[in-house]
Chain A
Amino acid sequence: MSAYAGTGTLLRLWLRRDRIMLPFWLYALTGYVASTALGFRSLYDTPASIHDFASGITSNGAMLAFYGELRAETLGGLVSWRLGSTGGAMVAVMAVFLVIRHTRAEEETGRLELVGSTAIGRRTALTAGLLVGVGAAVTLGVLASIVLIACGLPVAGSLAFAAGWTAVGLVFSAVAAAAAQFTENTRTARGLALAAVGASFALRAVGDAGPGALSWLSPLGWTGELAAYAGERWWVLFLPLAATAALTAAAYGLADRRDLGAGLLPTRLGPATGTVRGVFGLAARLQRGTLLAWTAGFALYGAAIGGIAEGADDLVRDSGGTREILERIGGSGAVTDTFLSAMFGIIGLLVSAYGVQTALRLRGEETDTHLELLLATPARRPSWTLGHLVWTFGGIVVVLAACGLAAGTVRAASTGASSDIARLTGVALAQAPAAWTVAGAAVLLFGLVPRASQAAWGVLAAFGLLGQFGPLLELPQPVMDLSPFTHTPHLPGADAPLVPLVWLALTALVVTVAGIAGFTRRDLMS
């Protein structure tokens, strides 16, 4: 077993490095489970109210696409429907971040070389990294099942639901471990693994809204097929276990065939002379790939939304009662508008992640000590900051516009109303001020408390969770008002009040300027 020597030591080191991030993930996801279960329990306390809610879901293709199929008209069924796939996607993201952080990221920084020169085995580093992801998934499963059972849900279903989440964590830990072998670049490896999460979610969404067989191809679909609280199909768990085993074997196989620090994809030579000029040119070079990937992903997402919106309308047309219910929830607009409004709300949250990611590139450049090299030249701190923030704030607009244009074009093709293109683009762009505000918070942290910059992710997660279960827990309005997403009007459907959007944009501007001002006054800290 000398190939695995020292795994325990390394694992302890990794866990020490994760002493903040890992508990945060576990608390947040467990809290998500608890609040969803408690919220549903207080909102739908009679079989009749559950049935009303359920008939709204099952007749709406969009709800099916986003959350998956509702398999039982019980409290457990609702919880499993709401959390299985969307929450499962968060578990997958957690696994990817943890495993990449302890495999390729350690290798790219060269830290693993120091560790690798000691008496540890060839497979130790990968094993320890995988174990962090696997351990997190198992712990989360245990916590989630305890919480669900404590909320009074059936034991078998609770165990099945939690096992479903753990299984997703296992599969995507293995996916990340394999992705880490392909490229020398941490960002690329993480991107590959996250793309697998996205593809898996998309497959399941399309499968649940239409051809059901597609869901069986998706690890996130398996959480639904497990049928927690609806006559559990335990054998489905063999699928993720087999996939995990196969992917882990592939990761080890790839790792055994390459050198430390190298990837399977060869690095190409670059140009001998450069055309990258100035801090703006450099920022463009560093940011353009990220923007391109997000724009492409969001255009696809928009097209998908535009496509299913029509289905939602068709399904409901046959059932007058449901239509009435949905219109009561969503206001005066058509069923599709209610659906689109919910979808664009989620897009606003997701595009904020782009904002945080690109704004935190500022901190990344500082910790990588690239900034020291740049600021010893005549480059000014505000210009350098703006060079990146142009991509953050402009990029949010570009990504949203691409998403809205795609949604509108697809929608217009089926309705024949070309005005849908402009309308949905406008709706998408209305999400920008809230996303700017979150990105601005990241800049503020970078400028004032640089070492806590990563807390911007926590801010985004807090806002997202507030929007998700604030209404379920019936939180007071002042608490809800803390989140910029509360202030984004529900479009399309509602009138478009410009005032809150202007306020959000102003808030974003103020926090961003404060962040830049803080940065120009502080020491560099790598």
Chain B
Amino acid sequence: MNDVIEVAGLVKSFGRTRALDGLDLGVRSGEVHGFLGPNGSGKSTTIRALLGLIRADGGTARLLGGDPWADATRLHRRLAYVPGDVTLWPNLSGGEVIDLLGSLRGGLDPKRRADLLERFELDPKKKGRAYSKGNRQKVALVAAFASDAELLILDEPTSGLDPLMEESFQECVREEKRAGRTVLLSSHILSEVEALCDRVTIIRKGRTVETGTLAGLRHLTRTSLQADLDSVPEGLGDLPGVHDLVVEGTRVRCEVDSARLEPVLRAFVEHGVLGLTSRPPTLEQLFLRHYEEAR
């Protein structure tokens, strides 16, 4: 499978600030790829470089097999973009903006347009300045989903949407995936990422810190264990991968690196297990771990 987006060692500085510091990103054809990182970590800068809006200082970036800067016009025929902060022309109606963007992208499907307006409950007659943030995002989303782009680049597209609209959005992304399109989704909404994404890339301070499938990433984190035992094993806290051990009588609580569960469970069994609860790592824990390191 060809990579739709291949970014390696991307560098971009604004004055003295190094916004991208050797960033890597690979998005495979047909997948929904989550793009995550704390505020100011360089997500939007990466996307703007991929769109040829800014020129990278170093590293390589390939988009749909072309150069994002030199081949911008040719590549843009094949993609649709929804910026994180959608601003519309104050005196153009939402419908006019959708059709304008459609005309620029080479036409859109009127049936799909009508269907999307209904699903997102968007009034296309309002003027740009009358829309709320969420409704402005809907205008850009309708224009993007109604185009027949093979790649969708969505930069925090749902930050202003209500839960019902979030539902419609997820449905639309799934339809795009079924139609074989590729989606790069930058997002802070973890439930959304969990529900939609095949793989994720986590960045901080302009560098990639983690990339892979969600299951694979989970494997890298800790599982919470609580056990009631006949007796507490000696040296439990010294086992590799055991953290935050708390012993209350014969009750043991600890966090264990998911890859090192086996020796701990073996020790439990040897000392008689009366009760055991185990909680898999939540996505929040996964992300918080990476985000907090950014501080």
A interface footprint on B64-79 (CB within 8 Å = 1, 0 otherwise)? 0000000011101101
Contact, CB under 8 Å: A278 / B104: yes
Chain B residues positioned under 8 Å from A368 (CB to CB):
87
Quick one: closest B residue to A375, CB to CB?
Answer: B53
Residue A115 interfacial (CB < 8 Å): no
Residue A185 interfacial (CB < 8 Å): yes
Residue B208 interfacial (CB < 8 Å): no
Chain B residues positioned under 8 Å from A185 (CB to CB):
90-91, 129
Quick one: closest A residue to B130, CB to CB?
Answer: A267
Chain B residues positioned under 8 Å from A276 (CB to CB):
92, 96, 99-100, 103
Chain B residues positioned under 8 Å from A108 (CB to CB):
90, 129
Given contacts A267-B127, A376-B53, contact A272 B95 (CB under 8 A): yes
Contact, CB under 8 Å: A281 / B89: no
Residue B140 interfacial (CB < 8 Å): yes
Residue A17 interfacial (CB < 8 Å): no
Interface size class of B (residues with CB under 8 A): 35 or more
Stretch at the interface among A300-308, A377-385, A393-401: A377-385
Quick one: closest A residue to B76, CB to CB?
Answer: A378
Shortest distance between the CB of A518 and any CB in chain B (Å): 13
Among A270, A271, A279, A369, contact of B104 (Cβ-Cβ < 8 Å): A279
Residue A277 interfacial (CB < 8 Å): yes
Contact, CB under 8 Å: A270 / B126: yes
Residue A184 interfacial (CB < 8 Å): yes
Residue A274 interfacial (CB < 8 Å): yes
Residue A524 interfacial (CB < 8 Å): yes
Contact, CB under 8 Å: B77 / A370: no
Quick one: closest A residue to B52, CB to CB?
Answer: A375
Contact, CB under 8 Å: B125 / A270: yes
Shortest distance between the CB of A452 and any CB in chain B (Å): 15
Contact, CB under 8 Å: A369 / B96: no
Residue A286 interfacial (CB < 8 Å): yes
Shortest distance between the CB of A85 and any CB in chain B (Å): 35
Contact, CB under 8 Å: A373 / B83: yes
Quick one: closest A residue to B113, CB to CB?
Answer: A273
CA gap between A267 and B91 in the complex, in Å: 9
Shortest distance between the CB of A192 and any CB in chain B (Å): 16
Contact, CB under 8 Å: A372 / B83: yes
Quick one: closest B residue to A521, CB to CB?
Answer: B55
Quick one: closest A residue to B53, CB to CB?
Answer: A524
A interface footprint on B33-54 (CB within 8 Å = 1, 0 otherwise)? 0000000000000001001111
Among A274, A376, A379, A524, contact of B96 (Cβ-Cβ < 8 Å): A274
Residue A318 interfacial (CB < 8 Å): no
Given contacts A185-B129, A279-B104, A524-B48, contact A372 B53 (CB under 8 A): yes
B interface footprint on A253-280 (CB within 8 Å = 1, 0 otherwise)? 0000000000000011111111111110
Chain A residues positioned under 8 Å from B241 (CB to CB):
none
Contact, CB under 8 Å: B53 / A270: no
Residue A51 interfacial (CB < 8 Å): no
Contact, CB under 8 Å: A378 / B90: no
CA gap between A271 and B106 in the complex, in Å: 21
B interface footprint on A362-375 (CB within 8 Å = 1, 0 otherwise)? 00000011101111
Among B73, B81, B87, contact of A370 (Cβ-Cβ < 8 Å): B87
Chain A residues positioned under 8 Å from B72 (CB to CB):
375
Residue B8 interfacial (CB < 8 Å): no
Contact, CB under 8 Å: A269 / B53: no
Residues of B139-172 whose CB lies within 8 A of A: 140, 153
CA gap between A63 and B101 in the complex, in Å: 52
Quick one: closest A residue to B88, CB to CB?
Answer: A370
Shortest distance between the CB of B234 and any CB in chain A (Å): 59
Residue B223 interfacial (CB < 8 Å): no
Residue B134 interfacial (CB < 8 Å): no
Residue A285 interfacial (CB < 8 Å): yes
Chain A residues positioned under 8 Å from B88 (CB to CB):
370
Residues of A103-140 whose CB lies within 8 A of B: 108
B interface footprint on A194-235 (CB within 8 Å = 1, 0 otherwise)? 000000000000000000000000000000000000000000
Contact, CB under 8 Å: B90 / A273: no
Chain B residues positioned under 8 Å from A273 (CB to CB):
95-96, 99, 124
CA gap between A285 and B99 in the complex, in Å: 14
Residue B93 interfacial (CB < 8 Å): yes
Shortest distance between the CB of A11 and any CB in chain B (Å): 27
CA gap between A273 and B85 in the complex, in Å: 23
Contact, CB under 8 Å: A270 / B99: no
Chain A residues positioned under 8 Å from B76 (CB to CB):
376-379
Residue B97 interfacial (CB < 8 Å): yes
Contact, CB under 8 Å: A272 / B93: yes
List the 4 closest pairs (A to B, CB-CB), nearest first: A270-B93, A274-B96, A274-B99, A376-B81
13 contacts between A and B (CB under 8 A): A267-B130, A268-B127, A270-B126, A272-B95, A273-B99, A273-B124, A281-B100, A368-B87, A370-B87, A375-B52, A377-B104, A378-B77, A523-B54
If A373-B81, A373-B86, A376-B76 are given as contacts, then 4 extra A-B residue pairs at C-beta distance below 8 Å, sorted by A number, are A184-B129, A277-B100, A380-B73, A524-B48
